[in-house]
Chain A
C-alpha cells in the first residue's frame, strides 16, 4: 500500500498562475484533509472532506478550492496564486468515524509563488 500520495512534490509558480495539487489514498478512508504548514504556525486546515460528496472549510480557506473526486482522491486548486500562498501543503486521510481520528499524511508539496 502506498498510503497517501501527493503530486507534485515541488512547484514554482508566478503570481496569478493557477494550479491543482493532487492527493490520493489507498486505505479506503472516508475523510480527507488539506493543510498548509508555515514556519512557526503549525498545521493549519484549509479544507476537509468528511465523506465522499462533502467538503467543508477549515481555518484558512481563502484563495483555495477543493474537489472530492471520489473516495480515493481529493484535489486542492489555487485559482490565482499569491506570494502569501508559498508554503508546504500536506494532504491527509483518516477513517473519519473513530474517536481517535488518526490522520495519515502524504509527503507534502513544497510550493513557491514568486
Chain B
C-alpha cells in the first residue's frame, strides 16, 4: 500500500516563501502530485513530478527526490489567496488510483 506524511498546518507571512514537505511510502511509484483546496471548494490539480528535480509553474514549484521518497511544494511571493489546504498524492502503479495525504493547511498572514 501507500502512505504519505505532511505537516498538518503551516503559517507564513504575505510576500514570503513557504515550503510544504511530503514523505511517502509506496510499493511502486508513478509520480508525486500536488492539489490545492480552498475552504468550501473542491481540490484542484497544481503539479506533478515523475522524475527527480524541480518543476516550476509561476510562483509555485514542486520538487521530487525518488531516492529519499520525498517531495515538497514551494510557494513564493505568498498572497492572501494562497491560504488553502495542500495535498500531496502518489500513485503506486498504473492500475491503482491516487492516494492522498491528509493535507497541510496553509495560513498566510499580513
A binds B: yes
- List the interface of chain A (C-beta within 8 A of B): 31, 33, 40-45, 48, 50, 58, 90, 92, 97, 99-108
Nearest B residue to A90, CB-CB: B42
- List the interface of chain B (C-beta within 8 A of A): 8, 30-31, 33, 35, 41-45, 48, 50, 87, 91, 94-95, 97-103
- Are B8 and A40 in contact (CB-based, < 8 A)? yes
Q: Which residue of the partner chain, among A41, A97, A100, A104, contacts B31 with CB atoms under 8 Å?
A: A100
State the majority secondary structure of interface residues on B.
Answer: loop
Query: Can you offer 5 A-B residue contacts whose CB atoms are under 8 A?
Result: A43-B100, A90-B43, A97-B94, A99-B50, A100-B48
Known: A40-B102, A42-B87, A42-B103. A107 touches B97 (CB 8 A): no
Q: Which of A90, A97, A105 has its CB near the most chain B CB atoms (within 10 A)?
A: A105
